[in-house]
Amino acid sequence: MTSAPDPAAELRPLDFLDIDGLLSDEERDIRDTVRGFVRERVVPHAGDWFEEAAIPRELPRELGRLGVLGMHLEGYGCAGTSATAYGLACMELEAGDSGVRSMVSVQGSLAMFAIWRWGSEEQKRRWLPGMATGETVGCFGLTEPDAGSDPGAMRTRARRDGGDWILDGRKMWITNGSIADVAVVWARTDEGVRGFLVPAGTPGFSAPEIHKKLSLRASVTSELVLDGVRLPADAVLPEVSSLRGPLSCLNEARYGIVWGAAGAARACFEAALAYAGERTAFGKPIAGTQIQQQKLAHMALEVNRATLLALHLGRLKDAGRLRPEQVSMGKLGNVNAALEVARTARQVLGANGISLEYPVIRHMNNLESVVTYEGTADVHALVIGGALTGVQAFR
């Protein structure tokens, strides 16, 4: 016989379904450590970073000291945490700002994972320890001006020249590009799609920064230009020669987005809940009106549902059972839910909803990038549709 719930145990508005109780002590400790860092280092400054379209150059090293760079990888100075712990860190980072979580995702789940999974032992020893501390920054060059959702259409090519490789092409929308010490660049070769490690300063390689963004402004976004870049034979990642290489990295990053989107949604909901309790209209707090309570209830629903979905996928990943199609469902559902929460929260805040004194408009703008990168919402819907029907609509 099950016991009745303790009537003295109050519901917590910010953890309505007691998801905290589903976490281990270690997972809560990691989450709380990252949450404390975000509240102290990111939240007070994120609005200014967004307005100035800048992010501190020392932040990668601070994130390295925090231990979140490549934290889910084993060895080479990486923490080797569970996938769920890494997800919780992503949730807290994106509750601060999507640009900060993007920096960590690109460093750990794209650049570092590519080297860790597909690199040689020498490459791992050379690059990963410094990347784990943030002393070395990496970026990931896959997307091109005319090849976003269809990476198989990439035009960047690499050809052999004696014992060397020569790379020519362009990559676009590359997070960390202009501050990276090394770029993982994917190119077509006569042997298939190969990954190359391109150190900053290599002749013929440049990374001009992209400006005039209205989303992810607290993040460095660049183009990568490769004009006759000569690399030695040991610059190529030896363990893969197909799109399986970059797609495996993208799946790692998408997993982090599933959690991150839940964090952004939570931050918007928290701001709306607090504001509704403080803002008075017609003689009482707007939290006491039916229409605002309905908005708050729907936001709470989406935040809790998104967090539960992320946690479930984290448990599947830790058990070795997570499929890419399930990650697509998580990204599609959670980012769309986060966008809806952000837009609803903006309405609750009224005119203050467009002010950078509150986090809502910043998250709302950032999520317009998150819904597109690492696979657009349309592409993830087709991935799920193909899994459901057995028919691939985009091939």
Where in the sequence numbering do the catalytic residues fall?
374
The candidate with the shortest Cα–Cα distance to 90, out of 343, 335, 387, is: 335
- Residue type present at position 141: G
Distance CA 293, CA 243 (A): 48
Residue labelled with tokens 């990691």: 30
Single-letter amino acid code for the residue at 342: A
Distance between alpha carbon 255 and the CA centroid of its chain, in Å?
A: 8
Report the 10 Å Cβ neighbour count for 389: 9
For residue 72, the SS3 value is coil
Q: How far apart, in whole angstroms, are the C-alpha atoms of residue 96 and residue 68?
A: 15
In angstroms, rounded to a whole number, what is the distance separating the alpha carbons of residues 382 and 259? 21
Q: Give me 77's structure tokens.
A: 């100075």
CA distance 349 to 275: 7
Cβ contact 113:140 at 8 Å: no
- Separation between Cα atoms, residue 105 and residue 109, nearest integer Å: 5
